[in-house]
Amino acid sequence: MNIRQDVTVAGVESDPDTLTLHAVRLLGYADTRLVARRFGLDIADTTERLLDLEATGRVTRSEFGGSSGWSLTECGRVEGERRLALELDDAKRVAVAGVHEAFRPVNARLQEAVTRWQLRPIPGEPLTANDHSDHRWDDRVLEELGLVGRQLTRLQAELTLVLPRFDGYAVRFGSALDRAVRGAGRWVDGVGIDSCHVVWMQLHEDLLATLGIGRGRQS
């Protein structure tokens, strides 16, 4: 897969305030430690930034099931997209949009692979859950995820030339896939962990947020 860029662009480092707000968006709901860890930020500084963002109505703190965490408000979503847009001049936007276009067919492959991990159709029952007793079926899915991971590495390389904050997705995806290959199948599609699917969903959200594309307008 070749991603053609007609212009050379220099990478832009995101400021910590932007990264803090963006981390909350990507994580959806997370405590301060996870928000700070998402982009390698200092936890004490992140705590202060989150409190400031809360005071301005851009994030909210809530408790659920005995845990507490931060989530984005609509005001915070708008502000986050405004900040991300400021990082892109015309050349950088073209570069990221090109990667997003290349991402779309790979995204379809990933979604199909995850569906095959979750379902194993049998005659007359197309929605039969995969009980993972057919190791050849599962192995083929894991092989497909390996191909997706290699394409992710190339996509990420193009993105980090423009925005270094896109670094890390390929390593996280590869780590989750390695765990799955070694027998911990929940690392394919598990929630609450850095599974292949969770990492991929965060990358997807990152691209949409960066380009200001609403979920209803993307494929």
Which position has the higher pLDDT, 4 or 72?
72
Amino acid at the residue 170: A
Enumerate the β-bridge partners of residue 63: 68
The sign one gets for the Cα dihedral 119, 188, 25, 157 is: negative
Query: What are the tokens at 150?
Result: 């290699």
pLDDT of residue 1: 43
pLDDT of residue 215: 59
Residues 60-83 have a mean pLDDT of 94
Enumerate the β-bridge partners of residue 125: 122
**pLDDT at residue 19 tops 70:** yes
pLDDT of residue 124: 86
**pLDDT at residue 218 tops 80:** no
Residue 192: which residues within 8 A CB-CB, separation 6 or more? none
pLDDT of residue 123: 87
pLDDT of residue 10: 54
Q: What is the CA radius of gyration of the chain?
A: 19
Query: What are the tokens at 105?
Result: 């067919």
Closest CA to 97 of 82, 112, 85: 85
**pLDDT at residue 197 tops 80:** yes
pLDDT digits (tens, 9 = 90+) for 92-151: 999 999 999 999 999 999 999 999 999 999 888 888 999 999 999 999 999 999 999 999
**Helices assigned H by DSSP within the chain:** 16-27, 32-38, 43-55, 74-86, 90-118, 135-162, 169-181, 186-189, 196-211
Q: How confident is the model at residue 207 (pLDDT cuts 50, 70, 90)?
A: very high
3-state secondary structure of 119: strand
Residue 126: which residues within 8 A CB-CB, separation 6 or more? 119
pLDDT of residue 8: 42
Contact 23, 49 (CB under 8 A): no
Which position has the higher pLDDT, 5 or 104?
104
Whole-number mean pLDDT of the chain?
93
**pLDDT at residue 47 tops 60:** yes
pTM: 0.90
